[in-house]
Structures are given as C-alpha cells and as structure tokens.
Structure 1
Amino acid sequence: METLRERKKQRTREALLRSALELFTTQGYEQTTVDEIAEAVDVSQRTFFRYFAGKEEAALALTEMTVARFVEAVRARPPHEAPMEALRQAVLEGWYSINEVVESVAPIELYLRMCRVIESTPVLLAAHLRRSVEIEETIAQVLAEREGLDVDADPRPRVAVAVFSSVMRVTERQWSLGEDFSLEAIRALTSRYLDQVGPALLGNWRTA
C-alpha cells in the first residue's frame, strides 16, 4: 500500500514535470532554467534534482511514461497473436490507458505541444531518437521471446518493430498537427496507417 510519504513524493514529481512542460512549451527549452522550474513549484533546485537528472530527463519524462506503458501492453498480448497483430492491438487497445498516463500529469494538449518542442529542439530530438532505438530493441526482444526466436539470428523481430515504429511516428506526427486531439481520432488514424503497411510494402502503387 502506498504511504503518505510516497504519495507526497509522487505529487511533487508530477508538479515539477507539469511546471517543466509548461515552461518548455511557452518560453522554449533552451531558455528555461532548472531554477525557474523549481521556483514555479516553490521548491529548491536541490529538490528538482532528486527527481530528475536534468532538464532533458524532465522534457522526455512523459514520453518515457507512455512508451513504458506500451511495452507492458505488448508483453501482455495473448501468445496466439502474430507479431504485427500483437503490436497493432497493443497500441489500439492501449490508447486509453496511455491517455490516462498522460492526463495523470498534464492535459493531452500540453503533451502534444511538448512533442512539437522535442521535434524542433536538436538536443531533445537527438536524445529522443537515441532512446527510441533502445525501446525498439526492447520490443524486438519481447517479440522474439514470444515466438521462441533468437533475436540476433532471426532478423524478423527487428524488421517488424522498425516498420511498426516508423508508422507510429508518422501517425503521431499527423495527429499532433491536426485539430482533433481525441482518442477516437488517434485510434482511427493509427488503424488506417497500419492497414497500409502491407499494400505500401508489397503492392503495386501504379494502378491502371
């Protein structure tokens, strides 16, 4: 059972994270200092560093939380599902729980604004891409374990994850640039884009 002390620590971390996101998205990542983030929550800089190693970790924290939830969802998929179907269902059925993760800390609109900041800030984009490679490897290993494969001997898990991750990046970007930020919109867009994987890779694009 969570103690009062643990709940207080969690509230402080979430407050610092919300403060960081608000400042990053309103005045810019480079222009925001740790002192400003801490001051907005009325805590010391030392307290900030108890929860985050630095600004970069705070900037990517919410994205990390959503990714962690997705990896859990992939692990929990029924063993009879084919790899791409397991990935598809994990994201389509998992959007509601992922949304809960986001909104437990900040409004979805703020999350989307932060995604745009990450894309437009070289140091954050580089860190995000490095982390994405690590996550893709983790998911590939999960798929390999599900299928009883050696991930280093069989290229299919890494190939499947590479394709899926690329589709998701395109989908999320299109969603973030649109006007409808509802769960229904992202689920519909995700489903539509994933439906195109087979035709895009194997089909003849030139029709009579």
Structure 2
Amino acid sequence: MCGRPAGAHDHPAGPPGRPAGLRERKKRRTRDALLHTALDLFTTQGYEETTVDEIVDAVEVSQRTFFRYFAGKEAAALAIQEIVESHFLLELRRRPAAETPFEALRGAVFCTWNSISEAIEAAVPVELHLRTYRMIESTPSLLAAHLRRSAELENQVALLIAEREGLDMETDPRPRVAVAAFSGVIRVTEKLWARGQDSSMDSLRAMTEAHLDQLGPALAGNWRAGVDTEQG
C-alpha cells in the first residue's frame, strides 16, 4: 500500500498528489534549475570552491531568489536527502497498523522511491544524484551534516515505531534498536550502490531488497551451522 505517486504536476519537496498551478510550476522550475546547477558545480569544481554568486549567475537569477529556496549551499547540497526523508516519514505514517515494525519500515522505503523517484529525476538525473552522494561522502563538512540529519531522522522514526506499537521508547529499547539496524542496512546499500557500475535506481532497489532479506538471518541465525555440518 503506497501513496499516490508524485507526477509531473507535483513538487518533489511538497505533499504528494497536490496539483500545482502556473505560479507553482514556475517556482518549481526555478528551484529545480538552481538545484541542478548547484549540484553540478559542487561535483565538478568542489563544494567549498563554489560560491552562491556562481550558481545564481549560471541560472540568471538573483541571490535573493536563491535564498528564497535554500538557506545556503549546505541546504542545496542536502536537498535531495531532505526530500527523501520527508516523504519516508509520510509513507511510514501511512503503513497499515497490522504490519510489524520491519514490514512497515521496508514498505515505507520502497513506497518513498515509487512516489518521488520520477519527480526527483526530472530535476536531478540519477548520474548527478550519484555524483552528489559521492561528493557528500568526501566533503567533511557535508558528511558531518548528512550524518547529523540521519541521526535526527532515526530518532523521529524510532518515535513513530514506538507510537505504532504502543511502547515507551524511554523504557523499551526495541524501537531504537530496530531502526538502528534498518538504517545501517540502508546506509550500507547506498555505499555499495555509489561504488558500483550500475547507477540506476532499479539497481539500488534490488540491492536494498537483497540486504534487507538477510537482516533477520544475520542477526538471529547461526552462521557456522552450515560450515560445521559440512566439516562433520
């Protein structure tokens, strides 16, 4: 069960399913142009070396216009992360109450990709998204901001899981443990995807599914059972 996919008339950073008028479409095009240009400059000449002036000059808008959409360079560099996070939280809140925590988390991840991948790719091609991920990982200030945001997201998700299950997160560690394990898998697959040859979203999805399938066995299984049987 997923929310309605975001289409050509939806802003990727806004609520899915809300049609945009002419003014909103113009604003979206300006924001997309600024985002695309900023990420392209960041990944080609360096984040620290790129100025806001260079970004706005390339798009032919004012600095005031840039700051209308982004608080600064860091906000532009992490804009895709922000979009994904907000939609993931929305999808997690929509998951059926009967699902287990891991089922809800897994379903929310894939529904998020289904609902926003097309809208994001319209503004930022997958190849540029991949370059941006690598740039964030190799830029200390951005990596620190990325990890800080990820930790904040984990806390929000754990609170949602605790609420779903009727638990007090201060006395029951399971929501935090479950989210930490799930988030670890997501981060591992993102890193593998960024290093791989296939940069498609289908590749990321398949890799994520394969690793999530191994989460239960990796945590609960006896890894040496098969080895001991063969040796015996």
What TM-score do the two structures reach when normalised by structure 1? 0.94
**Are 2:38 and 1:16 equivalent residues in the alignment?**
no
Aligned-residue offset at 1:22: 0.6
Contact 1:92–1:191 (CA under 8 A) maintained in structure 2? no
Identical aligned residues as a percent: 62
**Are 2:59 and 1:41 equivalent residues in the alignment?**
yes
- Structure 2's unaligned 5+ residue stretches are 1-18
Counterparts of residues 1-208 of structure 1 (less than 5 Å):
2-206=20-224, 207-208=227-228
In structure 1, what is the equivalent of residue 5 of structure 2?
A: none
| Alpha-carbon distance in 2 for matches of 1:154, 1:77 | 22
| Alpha-carbon distance in 1 for matches of 2:34, 2:181 | 35
Contact 2:193–2:199 (CA under 8 A) maintained in structure 1? yes
Closer/same/farther in 2, CA of residues 74 and 29 from structure 1, 3 Å limit: same
| Alpha-carbon distance in 1 for matches of 2:99, 2:47 | 42
Matched position secondary structure for 1:104:
helix
Aligned-residue offset at 1:25: 0.9
Aligned-residue offset at 1:100: 2.1
| Alpha-carbon distance in 2 for matches of 1:3, 1:190 | 36
Contact 2:126–2:201 (CA under 8 A) maintained in structure 1? no
Contact 2:84–2:112 (CA under 8 A) maintained in structure 1? no
Structure ranking higher in helix proportion: 1
User: 1:32 corresponds to which letter in structure 2?
Assistant: T
Matched position secondary structure for 1:153:
coil
Aligned-residue offset at 1:118: 0.4
Aligned-residue offset at 1:5: 2.6
| Alpha-carbon distance in 1 for matches of 2:62, 2:210 | 47
What TM-score do the two structures reach when normalised by structure 2? 0.85
Closer/same/farther in 2, CA of residues 121 and 6 from structure 1, 3 Å limit: same
Matched position secondary structure for 2:86:
helix
The aligned length equals 208
| Alpha-carbon distance in 1 for matches of 2:54, 2:190 | 30
Closer/same/farther in 2, CA of residues 101 and 162 from structure 1, 3 Å limit: farther
Aligned-residue offset at 1:147: 1.0
Matched position secondary structure for 1:48:
helix
| Alpha-carbon distance in 1 for matches of 2:110, 2:25 | 30
User: 2:78 corresponds to which letter in structure 1?
Assistant: L
Aligned-residue offset at 1:61: 0.5
